[in-house]
Structure 1
């Protein structure tokens, strides 16, 4: 398969060629497959370390692999608790099209007061 790399991304060309590729494109394929960015970034680090070890003699690659587990990437932080504010709770029951101009102004002042207390 013919492959072109551009700005760290891989482009698979629509042609198949006889023989082996000049290098591995597993990290780019993982990115295209939608693996989390933390895993793709970690795979790049591991690959760079493995390639460096290979250039420098390769004898310590087993230890290198053990020291660089692929899934040691830090998972993204859990989303913060989505507790509704008083303003959001108050707005849930508001039907804007039914408010008179005076009711809308009063509501605006009420919401502003709630926001000032919360923040």
Structure 2
């Protein structure tokens, strides 16, 4: 996704959903595809589905929050990042994205305080 290879991502997502529809990774990959092509509403739908399939899959939570953040819906993004921080206390990513969201909204003092 970070490389912008949407065609490869699409093919991988299709294969994963076909072969492993019960896995969160499959739906996460579909969400990543839609995020990559900037269809954030659809990406949120699939990130949400991934979190419903497996609530203990951190990448889906981060992707879900990022999809809200990409559409300037900071309150929703922060709520999801905070949920991820509670669910995965040893994971640094939720805290990182909370700080990044504060920076995106020019709230630098709170971004500095995030730990």
Instruction: Give the TM-score normalised by structure 1.
Output: 0.24
Whichever of the two has the greater Rg, that structure is 1
Q: Between Structure 1 and Structure 2, which shows a larger proportion of helix residues? A: 2
Q: Between Structure 1 and Structure 2, which shows a larger proportion of strand residues? A: 1
Instruction: Give the TM-score normalised by structure 2.
Output: 0.25
